[in-house]
Structure 1
């Protein structure tokens, strides 16, 4: 141990109190919300971020030229935002990429304007990354909700949720993106920049593409905590643009899986996974239209 005089370290090494403070310092988390004509859900999204009990956060909202009053809602919170603007014609993936490039933050995430964080989500994420410096990507669990903010239930009257996974690259390639709900996934800026960021030519499966690129470097970590609510409704891209998703999924499969040279059994498996994912979305639509029940006890404090 280095000698100290009058409480000061005379050998140049940081004192114990400083080391303890640095060890307890939580990483800065940057959240980017792209939005376009989502005024119905936007306020709940914004407040779910700003109400997080985590001081070291930065929040950027980028609007794509909304005409439904979304910009007026954003302006109500302008004093608590790192930055916001509205650019007509900018795609979702372009907005996300621009937000990450212009904002500061060691840990990154984007939260679509129809989704919400659950209480203490950022504290869980910050604690995990500070205690696991080798972790690059963290995946949490998420609750599936409907347009009214009610938890979607299955035929057994159980709330539908996604527990998250700690998949490898090959797991992601074979199983698709079904193990992830995007708002409950966080990653370090270093790995994001290492893989070249988001592919702005993709407008639907850019999250799946990004996960595959990051999974090539390291297996994902999983935290057993609910971090977000993923909203399914009739206007969301998840339910109305299956054809676009299938087209982009095929591009990704060819990009990473070299689908044309894969053995027949593996091609069949990948096609099955694609069918399974499409069936899941069909089933979710059915639950939304005919099987939505009251929110289960305990979820009322999470959503509006």
Structure 2
């Protein structure tokens, strides 16, 4: 498996099938749990993808600057994995900002160790995740932007892929990928395999995986940036504004990993429950859900669930996500560059 390549091209399932909400885990038999799927090393992302930027394919000066902000608070148990998943991309034109809300766990110690790899870092009380992310972006200048929560991770090679994709698709303003779920100990336990992007679907139902989404600064500024008034649906609100003004794409692979744990914001939600902030986004952007919309909503759930279960069942769960990184995420030694 080539670990320089960023993500999997999911298996192509047979047509048909029914599904329900894919937030449930999709396990495999115990005999497969030590296997790392070779397909997670593939770098193709649909027919039009040109693949990741390779060494020697372009000079450093030709690469776009990528700005990533990590809002953080009391995630000392996961933060180092997040930092390493960004820093170990070894992307030559990276601006990495960490905005911590005044954590009292081991976060300050971790940030001191990695401070020389960060373009900006501060730890002070804030007004929440959206406020931290929005202020963090004021310290950046990159042409491509993203924010990565302090319990999530990027896939190996993700930044090179993103740079190459935007260079090859000048009209695309934002991109995202399928989603892989990991547990508190980095075990991959399920997936979201998403359909091709549709503004109509994705503006009505919040399925865009935030940890995999990258966008151009031009669309961020045109859309007005992150609204600090949100605490839960800040990404959904931002992406709806992107869809209203520009072009989004779903690439056929995995650019990052979403961690599920007891302290996460989504942990307390009941399956099928609509968060008040999601309803607020729909209301503020004039997105009306009519009675007949229940049919495409259920069809979307079914589509995602069948394909996610199909993909997971092919020996693609039960392994440690760090194995894709060759053990580098849990290696506490600092990079030597």
Structure 1: how far apart are the matches of 2:253 and 2:232?
A: 26
Residue 114 in structure 1 maps to residue 151 in structure 2: yes
Are residues 32 and 165 of structure 1, via their aligned partners in 2, closer, same or farther at CA, if it must alter by over 3 Å? farther
CA contact (8 A) 1:233 1:239 kept: yes
Distance in 1 separating the partners of 2:113 and 2:79 = 12
What CA RMSD, in Å, does the superposition of the two structures yield over aligned residues? 3.2
* Deviation larger for 138-147 or 240-249: 240-249
Structure showing greater relative contact order (alpha-carbon pairs closer than 8 Å, 6 or more residues apart): 2
1:171 aligns with 2:201: yes
Q: What is the alpha-carbon distance in structure 2 between the residues aligned to residue 221 and residue 181 of structure 1? A: 12
Q: If each structure's helix is expressed as a fraction of its own residues, which one has the higher value?
A: 1
SS, match of residue 301 in structure 1: helix
| Structure 2 residue aligned with 1:301 | 324
- Asked if the contact 1:108/1:186 (under 8 Å) is kept, the reply is yes
Could you tell me how far apart the structure 2 residues matched to 1:70 and 1:32 are?
A: 16
- Unaligned regions of 5+ residues in structure 2, if any? 1-56, 306-316, 331-337
Deviation at 1:21, TM superposition (A): 6.4
- Contact 2:70 2:150 survives alignment (8 Å): yes
Which range moves more in the overlay, 21-30 or 191-200? 21-30
Retained in 1: the 8 A contact 2:102–2:123? yes
- Which residue does 1:287 correspond to in 2? none
Question: Would the aligned equivalents of 1:93 and 1:199 in 2 still touch at CA under 8 Å?
Answer: yes
Q: Distance in 2 between matches of 1:82 and 1:117?
A: 18
What is residue 286 of structure 1 aligned with on the other side? Answer: none
SS of alignment partner, residue 138 of structure 1: strand
Aligned to 1:250: 279
Distance 1:70 1:63, change over 3 A: same
CA contact (8 A) 1:168 1:219 kept: no
Q: Number of aligned pairs? A: 262
Aligned to 1:196: 224
Superposed counterparts of 1:1-304, under 5 Å:
25-152=62-189, 160-174=190-204, 176-178=205-207, 180-240=208-268, 246-259=275-288, 263-266=290-293, 268=294, 294-295=318-319, 300-302=323-325, 304=330
What SS does the corresponding residue of 1:77 show, helix, strand or coil? Answer: helix
Task: Flag the 1:242–1:249 CA change in 2: closer, same or farther, 3 A.
Answer: farther
Question: Which residue number corresponds to residue 10 of structure 2?
Answer: none
User: Offset of 1:132 from its aligned partner?
Assistant: 1.6
